[in-house]
Amino acid sequence: MRSPSTGPVEDSSSARFLPSRRRNSPDGVAPVEGLRMPPCVDHEPVMLKEVVELFADIPQGLVVDATAGTGGHALAILESRLDLRVLCLDRDPEAVGRAEERLARFGTRALVRHARFDALAIEATRAGSPPGTLSGILFDLGVSSLQLDTARRGFSYWHEGPLDMRMDLRDHLTAAEVVNEWDASRLSRLIAENGEGRFARRIARAIVARRPIGTTTELAGIVRDAIPAATRRTGGHPARRVFQALRVAVNDEMEVLARAVPLAIDSLAPRGRCVTLAYHSGEDRIVKTAFAAAVSGGCICPPAMGCVCGARSLGRLVFRGSRKPTAAEVARNARAHSARLRAFERTSETAAGEPSVPGSSGGEAL
């Protein structure tokens, strides 16, 4: 199984855009027949105020923005604290170029690297901050506005483009390969695991029957037609979970995240914080479980008897559960609607190279 099942939390590519009466998109691309194009939405970093506040009291030093995009969160962090440097990572070379331009005025306080976020410990060490010394780490997960709004990248069902969906064009697997070469059973499992369990088989059979499929809008139309008309009237775009499933598979997102969050926890200095923004219940579940394991230290003892296994808590949750964007922010920025914010603070140290969390996942999600 490539990714956990998803619940009501969707990724940012499933944002509930307000319907438009226009027959064409702002860039002149024709909409999928029977569906209306969303208005153009300018990029705005999600829950920016909350993220900056969570880094207000961390020790001075290096913060890693592990999913920097065009640098919106990094810029705000750099402006908020003169004693912080920010190392920006992104697997998308186009985002790296934009972040470099945007943050150039900060000089050596802003470093931008083309790297996947499970390489954060390596990149931070190269920047002079080995594991156990980072002041903060930010994960703003999911697909970026830059990727969604660029039709040729193939992430959006609203814009006609090739079936690509690679965040890093150096990778080999594309959405076209998944759509046109995976068998119906494998496609069905992928779609079901990403929240479209009710119609996964119907959608997979429809895709196989219409091969070869070349564009995003062609695929969106096939998915639409595979879902009963009564169901299409509610719940947003009928193709949203299918596109989400393809993107997750192409970019190996869940597996990379499952490796990266424990690495992030290991890399924090005492009082350092790891802050995450998830838009997909699978992402959120991985973060939630990793944070819970760090809080418990991997303890497996029954709560009633107290810990006798020698586990050591590595930190605390800054607040219990997750926080959501305000109604005002969602009204202003529709892509924020599914965001879930979590934060962990490191309170103990481990020896260099020592795993921070005993066992595999450990603990119960909080």
Give the C-alpha separation, 272 to 270, whole Å. Answer: 5
Per-residue pLDDT, 235 = 66
Considering the chain, what percentage of its residues have pLDDT values greater than 90? 69
Q: SS3 for 208? A: helix
- The string of pLDDT tens digits covering residues 315-325 is 999 999 999 99
Q: Following DSSP, what letter does each residue of 284-349 receive, concatenated?
A: HHHHHHHHHHHHHTT--S-GGG---S-----EEESSSS-B---HHHHHH-GGGTT-EEEEEEE---
Estimate the crossing angle of helix 240-251 against helix 216-226, to 10 degrees.
Answer: 130
Domain CATH number, residue 15 = 3.40.50.150
Residue 27 contacts by C-beta under 8 Å, 6 or more apart in sequence?
151, 159
Q: Is residue 353 one of the residues assigned to a domain?
A: yes
Q: What's residue 331's pLDDT?
A: 95
Indicate whether 229 pLDDT > 90.
no
Q: For 23-27, 84-88, 120-124, 227-231, which range has the lowest pLDDT when averaged over its residues?
A: 23-27
The answer to whether residue 332 is domain-embedded is: yes
Task: Specify the pLDDT at position 54.
Answer: 98
What pLDDT score does 140 carry? 97
Q: Please check whether residue 13 lies inside any domain of the structure.
A: yes
Per-residue pLDDT at 3: 33
Measured distance CA(91)–CA(292) in Å, rounded: 27
Residue range 286-316, pLDDT digits in tens:
999 999 999 999 888 887 877 888 889 999 9
The answer to the question of residue 188 being in a domain is no
Query: Which is more confidently placed, 16 or 299?
Result: 299
Say if residues 78 and 104 touch (Cβ distance below 8 Å).
no
Tens of pLDDT, residue by residue over 162-181, are 999 999 989 999 999 999 99
User: What pLDDT score does 198 carry?
Assistant: 85
- Higher pLDDT, residue 358 or 140: 140
Mean pLDDT of 32-54: 67
188, 207 Cβ separation under 8 angstroms: no
Q: Is residue 196 part of a domain?
A: no
Instruction: For residue 193, give both structure tokens.
Output: 């695991």
| Higher per-residue pLDDT: 229 or 30 | 229
Q: How many domains does the chain have?
A: 1
Q: Which residues pair with 311 in a beta bridge?
A: none
**φ, ψ (nearest 5 deg) of residue 175:** -65, -30
Q: What is the mean pLDDT of the chain?
A: 85
Q: In what order do the strands lie in the sheet with 340-346?
A: 110-114, 84-90, 61-65, 134-140, 268-278, 340-346, 315-317
Residue 225 covered by a domain: no
Radius of gyration of the chain (CA): 21
Domain assignment of residue 184, yes or no: no
Domain holding 320, by residue range, is 1-168+252-366
Residue 280 placed within a domain: yes
Q: Are 347 and 314 in contact (CB under 8 A)?
A: yes
Interval 343-366: pLDDT, tens:
999 997 653 334 444 333 333 335
User: Has residue 117 got a pLDDT over 60?
Assistant: yes
So what's the pLDDT on residue 10? 40
